[in-house]
Amino acid sequence: MSFEVVPALDLRGGKCVRLYQGDFSRETVFSDNPLEMAQHWVGLGAARLHVVDLDGAAHGEPANLSIIRRIVAAVSCPVQVGGGIRDIGAVRRLLDYGVVRVIVGTAAVKEPALVEELCRSFAEAIVVGIDAQEGIVAVKGWRELTGVKAVDLGLRMVELGVPRLIYTDISRDGTLSEPNFAALEQLLAAVPVPVIAAGGIVTVEHLQRLAAMGCEGAIVGRALYAGNLDLPGAIRALRGTRAGP
């Protein structure tokens, strides 16, 4: 499988937005029409889309389901969705819509038994998102620090059968700085499952370094929306690069 460059669509109030370090008070609206934005990225060559329901993450249950359903129906590539998914019913609903991967975050810390059940029931469709601030996991829309180390959570999730992880460095997210390569290296060395990187990715060189480290792919948001990174150019530069170790 080739290294994937995955555009992010963060949904809040029916719009496509980006936050700065996960801060809901520091929001930039990039589109009033997430469906058009999804089709835009697919038209530029995206092989997968990463959709986050920010309202759902904040309130503990999916809040933009109608938009998500329309996005999945309108695009030709696989879609993965996270944000506020904390029960098996929400997972089933999204999979019924045609979502290929469902991402759980808060439940991984608060309800590990649920994650184990999800892995038994839905196998490769389940992804755990590890969102960390200085190596410590944050949940509930990144507003609550847990005291759990990111690597420890990753190892625990692998024991429960989780087949894939997404690691987001909160302090880098939306900052147009660079990924937290050191934290990613630590996680990659610890877990035997694919890891997707997110947070702070700006340049093709960042993507190439992540691929060389062994990441399966990278989720890119603000750098694409602000024009720092050209999606077709990034895809061409990474074409043929093997994902993972």
Active site residue ranges: 10, 131
> What burial class does residue 225 get, using C-beta atoms within 10 Å of its C-beta: 0-12 exposed, 13-18 middle, 19+ buried?
buried
- For residue 144, which of 25, 22, 61 has the smallest C-alpha distance? 22
Q: What is the dihedral of CA 62, 132, 99, 202, to 10 degrees?
A: 120
At residue 184, the 3 state secondary structure works out as: helix
- For residue 1, which of 130, 194, 133, 220 has the smallest C-alpha distance? 194
Take residue 185 and report the two structure tokens written for it. 């290296």
User: How crowded is residue 149: how many other Cβ atoms within 10 Å of its Cβ?
Assistant: 15
d(CA 11, CA 20): 14
Task: Give, in order, the Cα–Cα distances in Å from 33 to each of 17, 47, 51, 68, 82.
Answer: 10, 20, 14, 12, 19
Take residue 183 and report the two structure tokens written for it. 């934290």
Per the DSSP assignment, residues forming a β-bridge with 28 are 18
d(CA 188, CA 66): 35
